[in-house]
Amino acid sequence: MPHIVVIGGGPAGLAAAGELAGRGCTVTVLERMPTVGRKILMAGRGGLNLTHSEPFDRFVTRYGPARPWLEPALRAFAPDDLRHWAEDLGQPCFTGSSGRVFPQAMKASPLLRAWVARLTGLGVNIRTRHDWTGWNAAGRVTFTGPDGAGAMSADAVILAMGGASWPRLGSDGQWTRLLAQQGVIAAPFQAANCGFATNWTEATRTRFAGKPLRGIALTMEGASGAPVRGEAVVTAAGLEGGAIYALSAPLRDRIAAQGQARVLLDLRPDMSLDVVQARLERVRGRESLSNTLRKALRLPPVAVAILREGADGAPPRDTAELARLVKAVPVTLLAPDSLDRAISVAGGIRAADVDARFMLRALPGVFAAGEMLDWEAPTGGYLLQACFATGRAAAAGVLDWLQEGAKERYPSTS
């Protein structure tokens, strides 16, 4: 039986290991942390959003420029497949009102325990506290572990070590140095699904940090496309949350090109401009600004504070102008959060450096999966789905490559 070494015990690595072991391979997983699946457990704190239920043709658009090379893997292991996989592990799923898919338990630990038990039953050898260090002169996989340095032979290797977000959970991006020594130069990492900094006044920073802006719509100034509906959270540094995360890629690129980016917050997206103005006019003359916004539009204090920020502390008294401000509060963003605060990253192994099987062109027999690859997607189940799908696709690629090699070694005599 061929021996495959999978480096990394996150969703992509474990998905690859299960696929290979189920096909008769001997599989060893090397994980640098004390336990596997730590990022899955972290994701489970929010209910473990496994995937999304929207139609597949729309689903794949969420991967932007990476769609052409990820789509075959996503079709081979689609959202319904991930749901059925979880249910087969005894974790039935449900679809929320947003279309996101969660285990009914709303926890990651039961699914992870069942998954590890299945892998163990398939004979997968999981070695934790083992840090990959490259290859030796004989081509063997090298590592350091509790017993010191070691090496092992492998018929193929799958790299699934994550990107560079959440380094305390094991993904620190240090693998880029080892691959660079082999001629594989990764695209630089950039924060994705991240917050952004702005210059709040001290009053907003101290009073409203941590307060949510619910039910808003957000657009990037000058960009086409529908506004993003959702929630943002005011932080001491700026803004974060789902609505901001959905625009993190174009915002990041705009800041890189121009030094800043401006977003427009619609504080009442379910009301037309005319309705907002009419409601303001009914109470404006009798009340202060805060009371007017509260009584006419039910805006909470945090929303009023952001409106004041957008007006440089002097909101207009004219109701028509005030209504326009409510529908498009400008906030200037100056920088994305650091990598260690980002939910995910862009950057990593480029599409041109792997073939259709996710094998590194410079290193035959070495495959890559998950967030090591240069792609990004919004939160909402898209991240985990692609990690599972590319892990399984890399495993299928290994099997195909091994079969191809077997044909070369043992050509047909017919």
Region 23-30: mean pLDDT is 98
Region 392-400: mean pLDDT is 98
Task: Give the other-Cβ count within 10 Å of 121's Cβ.
Answer: 9
Confidence label for 286 from pLDDT (cuts 50, 70 and 90): confident
| Helix%, strand%, coil% for the chain, nearest 5 | 40, 25, 35
Predicted pLDDT at 171: 87
**What are the strands of the beta sheet with 212-220, ordered from one edge?**
329-333, 261-266, 212-220, 228-234, 238-240, 196-197, 335-336
Say how far apart CA 264 and CA 274 lie, in whole Å.
18
For residue 360, the 8-state DSSP code is: B
Mean pLDDT of the chain: 94
**What are the strands of the beta sheet with 156-159, ordered from one edge?**
125-128, 26-31, 3-7, 156-159, 366-368
For 183-210, the pLDDT digits (tens) are: 999 999 999 999 999 999 999 999 999 9
For residue 388, give every residue at least 6 positions away whose Cβ sits within 8 Å of its Cβ, in sequence order, or none: 11, 12, 15, 77, 82, 85
Predicted pLDDT at 166: 79
Cα distances from 185 to residues 64, 133, 181, 403, in angstroms, run: 22, 17, 9, 28
Confidence label for 229 from pLDDT (cuts 50, 70 and 90): very high
Say how far apart CA 130 and CA 161 lie, in whole Å.
12
Which structure tokens are listed for 332? 């200037």
Provide the sign of the torsion angle of the four alpha carbons 253, 259, 191, 54, taken in this order: negative
Locus of tokens 């947003």: 98
